[in-house]
Amino acid sequence: MILATYNWPEALTAVLHGLSSQTDRNFEVVIADDGSDEPTTDVIGTARDRLPIRHVWHEHRGFRLAEIRNRAILASKGAYCIFLDGDCIPRPSFVAAHRQLAEPGWYVQGNRVSLRKEFTGRVLAEQLTPGDWSLPRWWVHRWRRHVSRTAPLITLPLGPLRKRTAQTGEKALGCNQAMWRSDLDRIDGFDAAYVGWGWEDSDVAQRLLHAGVGRKSGRYATAVIHLWHEPHYSRENRLLFETVLADNRVAARRGISALKSENDERTVEPAE
């Protein structure tokens, strides 16, 4: 499990609670920290009583999600990487569902439901645990307009239909993706040329497709609960992604191999 975060300890607390409530506990958590301050370290230290955690950190020099994810990949030990964001609460079946869907030659693209702004504030302030809620309770919150939709929270088998999804990296959600480590090595991981918000997740998905790895849908199985935050957009990153669509690129411009060749080591794991 590779969990990205930056300076939102309240949200991270809720996500780590969700991970500690998983029905499948056979996983490690590698936190990809894009330069957070001490409160985030404190949250992680508390959660270590419940979860096996490695905290991978680098200095904050702008939004460098792709790079810190690559650092976390290098620090991970598993053969299969599930990517989750620090503002997305997993339900108890999240890891088990991803494990069931894992298949050589495919990566899994999941989805999410989004909480409204005011309700996100209430969930965090009152330390509510929406990952544990039943579907009828979600329907009530949908009726009250606390959440964008509830259909993704329904569990359906789908079977071979999962491979009939559109084979494109467009609009991929890095907050809920899963990939074999060997496939990530083939494409040299995420592309750290993406600085600023967005499209690094679509990029890695598209390059996997170029490498012959199929996209498998995690809908109606792996949905996560997304906490509200201000929307962002990077036109420069979108233009980078368009070049990947045009040239069938497989390898990252600046991927995991670039970190391996660095002379100065910026990755830090704070003392427990």
Residue at 101 is within a domain:
yes
| Distance in angstroms (rounded) separating the CA atoms of residues 204 and 69 | 11
The string of DSSP codes covering 190-205 is: S-TT--SSSSHHHHHH
Write the CATH number for 126. Answer: 3.90.550.10
| b/e code 131-144 from CB counts within 10 Å (16+ = b) | beeeeeebeebbee
Provide the pLDDT for residue 262: 65
Residue at 225 is within a domain:
yes
| Distance in angstroms (rounded) separating the CA atoms of residues 76 and 182 | 12
- 169 versus 34: the higher-pLDDT residue is 34
Q: Mention every residue, 6+ apart, whose C-beta is less than 8 A from residue 146.
A: 115, 116, 118, 119
- The residue among 182, 189, 209, 186 whose CA lies nearest residue 72 is 189
Residue at 82 is within a domain:
yes
Residue at 21 is within a domain:
yes
Domain housing 71:
2-260
Domain count, the chain: 1
Residue 263 has pLDDT above 60, yes or no: no
Residue at 217 is within a domain:
yes
Q: What is the mean pLDDT of residues 18-46?
A: 97
What pLDDT, in 10s, does the model give residues 152-209? 999 999 999 999 999 988 878 878 999 999 999 999 999 999 998 888 999 999 999 9
What pLDDT, in 10s, does the model give residues 76-134? 999 999 999 999 999 999 999 999 999 999 999 999 999 999 999 999 999 999 999 99
The tokens for 144 are: 């009250």
Q: Which residues pair with 113 in a beta bridge?
A: 225
Tally of CA atoms within 13 A in the half-sphere of 45 that contains its CB: 9
| Distance in angstroms (rounded) separating the CA atoms of residues 158 and 68 | 34
* Strand, coil or helix: 209: helix
Reported as type and span, the H/E element at residue 216 is strand 214-217
Residue 266 has pLDDT above 80, yes or no: no
Residue at 268 is within a domain:
no
Tally of CA atoms within 13 A in the half-sphere of 181 that contains its CB: 13
Residue 264 has pLDDT above 50, yes or no: no
Residue at 16 is within a domain:
yes
Residue at 265 is within a domain:
no
Report how far apart, in Å, the C-alpha atoms of 109 and of each of 162, 238, 255, 266 are: 10, 19, 21, 30
